[in-house]
Amino acid sequence: MAYKDAFGMDVTYGVGEAVDKNGVVDVTHFGAIKQIQQVIDFDKDGVPSTTNLTIRSSKIPAGSAILNARLVVLKAAATAATTVDVGTCKLDGTAIDADGLLDGVALSAGVKDPVASEALIGTVVTEDSYISVAPSATTAAALGGLYAVLVVEYV
């Protein structure tokens, strides 16, 4: 939900209502902090022919500072050893930093937080950036059943 306050500022609260074809919930605002939520559902949708996902509706504008990235795995991938890299890329899919948000995170159930080595956390992006997700496995046998939510926060 959103409204304009007495000062003419856009105020959005709760979770955005619109979801695009990739499962991206509209960017939600918590004051100055913006949050992108991406559902990764290989359980319902099956494993796509290319598992390196460029989330084109997840634009982080140039000049924004990335605060955090978190992957909440609600249903683990079929193969426990499967990992994922989450980073940024250009609109055409060219990598900017393929593992700058989450690097080699296991797709077992639970909340996956970034560690200090993720280069993009706490930095200002110099060009428009889009979220990229690249699992280590590319087969339905390994990724089947995966259901997760990726949350990226920036200002």
Q: What is the pLDDT of residues 125-136, one digit of tens each?
A: 999 999 888 887
User: What percent of the chain clears pLDDT 90, i.e. is strictly above it?
Assistant: 19
Which pLDDT belongs to residue 112? 82
Q: Which residue has the higher pLDDT, 86 or 1?
A: 86
For residue 111, what pLDDT band results from cuts at 50, 70 and 90? confident
Give 94's contacts (C-beta < 8 A, 6+ positions apart): none
Tell me the CA distances in angstroms from 91 to 9, 11, 32, 88, one per residue in order: 29, 28, 24, 10
Which H/E stretch holds residue 140? Answer: helix 140-143
Average pLDDT score over residue span 68-94: 86
Q: Which two tokens stand for residue 74?
A: 């609600």
- Which domains can be identified in the chain, with CATH numbers? 2-154 (2.60.120)
Give 65's contacts (C-beta < 8 A, 6+ positions apart): 122, 123, 124, 125, 154, 155
Average pLDDT over the chain reads: 76
Could you report the per-residue pLDDT of 26-62, keeping only the tens digit for each?
566 667 899 888 887 776 655 555 555 666 668 899 9
For residue 114, what pLDDT band results from cuts at 50, 70 and 90? confident
Which pLDDT belongs to residue 105? 86
Give 84's contacts (C-beta < 8 A, 6+ positions apart): 71, 102, 104, 105, 107, 133, 134, 135, 136
For residue 97, what pLDDT band results from cuts at 50, 70 and 90? very high
